[in-house]
Amino acid sequence: MSTVLQKTMYEVLHNKLYDPKWVEILLACIQKYEDRFFPEWYQSIFFQLEYNQSPFSIYDAYGLLCLHTELGNGKIVYCEVHLGERPSSDRHISEINTKLQKLWYRI
């Protein structure tokens, strides 16, 4: 994430922390994460966290809430792409690009 984007997100979130209702929503989201409320497939749409990874921060909660809202409003579209092989780690960009270039698609 870019530094400018991070700073902006932190500023927006920190301003929301003055509102007790937002704090309650964020803490409820963190609790739901810790209770494994979100199925792993759904969580993996937004994050590369696994339930055994922690902590799930207040920033993660805010990001999840924002993305969940946009998905629900139809502003984000989700689809799965089946490569026919195991996905690569994000840090292996050239390997990922090679796999994606093998896909057949129509525009």
* pLDDT tens per residue across span 70-88: 988 989 887 777 777 887 8
Amino acid letter, residue 29: C
Question: 49 or 34, which is more confident?
Answer: 34
Give φ, ψ of 36 to 5 degrees.
60, 40
Q: What share of the chain is helix, strand, coil (3-state, %, to 5)?
A: 55, 0, 45
* pLDDT given at position 25: 94
62: Cβ contacts below 8 Å, ≥ 6 apart: 9, 13, 16, 26
CA–CA separation, 89 and 91 (whole Å): 5
* pLDDT given at position 22: 92
pTM of the shown model: 0.66
Residue 26: pLDDT above 80? Answer: yes
Residue 107: pLDDT above 80? Answer: no
